[in-house]
Amino acid sequence: MGTNTTLLAHLPLRNKARIVSMNGGHTFNQRMQVMGIREGQIIEIVSKQPFMGPLTIAINNHKMTIGRGMAHKIVVEKI
């Protein structure tokens, strides 16, 4: 990863970032596509639950919750 990239799980709250890549298998990538999470889109973390709980994200004016494991497979570039 470059100096300006990080994993989505490590992105601070309320910071926006662009999705650079998704490092999962075929099923993971397909699930992300169905949820509307694609490379090149702007994403923001709205909330983080404690104790490695899920993250609430905002993408395309929609909020959804994803697990930390999923967030560790998404590489983002801070903007």
Question: The domain spanning residue 43 has which CATH number?
Answer: 2.30.30.90
The answer to whether 14 and 21 have CB atoms below 8 angstroms apart is: no
The answer to whether 13 and 76 have CB atoms below 8 angstroms apart is: no
Q: Provide the whole-model pTM.
A: 0.89
- Domains: count for the chain: 1
Please name the residue ranges forming H helices in 1-79. 26-35, 68-71
Residue range(s) defining the domain that contains residue 12: 5-78
pLDDT of 2 reads 65
Q: What is the mean pLDDT of residues 23-51?
A: 93
pLDDT of 8 reads 94
Confidence at 28, pLDDT banded by 50, 70, 90: very high
The pLDDT mean for the chain works out to 92
